A and B are shown apart, each in its own frame.
Chain A
C-alpha cells in the first residue's frame, strides 16, 4: 500500500512566521502535489512537481513556495504566514500516467493566529 506521510497533523503558527509542511511518500512516485482544502471550495492545487527539483504552479500559488530535493519528499513553505492561510493542507503523490490515482496523506490542519 502506498503511504503518504505528512509530518504534522496540527500546527499553530503566528502571523509572519515561516512555516514548513513536510510530505514523504514511500512508493517511488514521480508526481507530488500540494492542495489546500477549504469548506465550499473543495481541493485547490497550490503547487506540484513531476520530477526532482521540478516544480509547477497550480491554481493558487501566491504566498507559497515548494522544494523537492529528493524524489520521496515534497515540502510546502509559507514564507510569511498570514491568517488567510489557515486551512487543511493535503499532500498527494502519483505515478506518471493517464489514469494514475492520487494517493493522499491525512492532511495538516494549519492555524495562523
Chain B
C-alpha cells in the first residue's frame, strides 16, 4: 500500500512558472518530511525538508507548505528554470526501532520546464 501518495505523476510548465507537487499521508507516526530531487542517471539527492511543527519552509526558489491537520504537504518551485527538470519525490520519516529511522517515498513527479 502507498503510505505516501504523490501527485501529479508528471508536470510540464513554461520557464518562470510555479509547479506545485502535492503529497498526502495517513500514518501519524511520520515526523519529518523531506523532498528529494533526481536527475537522469543519478541517485536522488535531498532538496529541502520540513518538520511537522512548521507550516512553511523556504530555501531559495523551493518552498514546502505543510498542513498537519490535513496530513498534506506540497513543494512549490518559484520562477522555475529548465535546469529544474527532474523527478521529485516526497518522503516521510518515522522511527523504526531504537534510533533507526525509516524513510517512505511517494511515487514521484516527473517535472519538465520548457525554455
Residues on A facing B (Cβ under 8 Å): 4, 31, 33, 35, 40-45, 48, 50, 56, 58-59, 90, 92, 96-107
Quick check: A98 and B107 within 8 Å, CB to CB?
no
The CA-CA distance from A105 to B46 in the complex, in Å, is: 13
What mask results when residues 74 to 110 of chain B are scored 1 for a CB within 8 Å of chain A, else 0? 0000000000000001000100111111111111100
A21 to chain B, nearest CB (A): 14
Quick check: B107 and A41 within 8 Å, CB to CB?
yes
A-B contact count (CB 8 A): 68
Quick check: A42 and B43 within 8 Å, CB to CB?
no
With A90-B43, A104-B43 in contact, is A98–B32 under 8 Å at CB?
A: yes
List 25 contacting pairs A-B, 8 Å CB cutoff, sorted by A.
A4-B43, A33-B103, A40-B9, A41-B107, A42-B89, A42-B105, A42-B107, A45-B102, A45-B104, A48-B100, A50-B98, A56-B97, A56-B100, A58-B102, A90-B43, A90-B44, A97-B99, A98-B32, A99-B93, A102-B36, A102-B46, A102-B103, A105-B43, A106-B41, A106-B43
User: Which residue on B lies nearest to A50, using beta carbons?
Assistant: B100
How many B residues have CB within 8 A of the partner chain? 29
Quick check: A104 and B44 within 8 Å, CB to CB?
yes
Q: Interface SS of chain B: helix, strand, loop or mixed?
A: strand
Quick check: A43 and B41 within 8 Å, CB to CB?
no
Check B12 for interface membership: any CB of A closer than 8 A: no
Check B61 for interface membership: any CB of A closer than 8 A: no
User: Which residue on A lies nearest to B110, using beta carbons?
Assistant: A39
Q: Which of B26-51 contact A (CB under 8 A)?
A: 31-32, 34, 36, 41-46, 49, 51
User: Which residue on A lies nearest to B47, using beta carbons?
Assistant: A101
With A40-B9, A42-B6 in contact, is A107–B102 under 8 Å at CB?
A: no
Would you list the 5 A-B pairs with minimal beta carbon distance, nearest first?
A: A104-B43, A101-B46, A50-B100, A42-B107, A43-B105
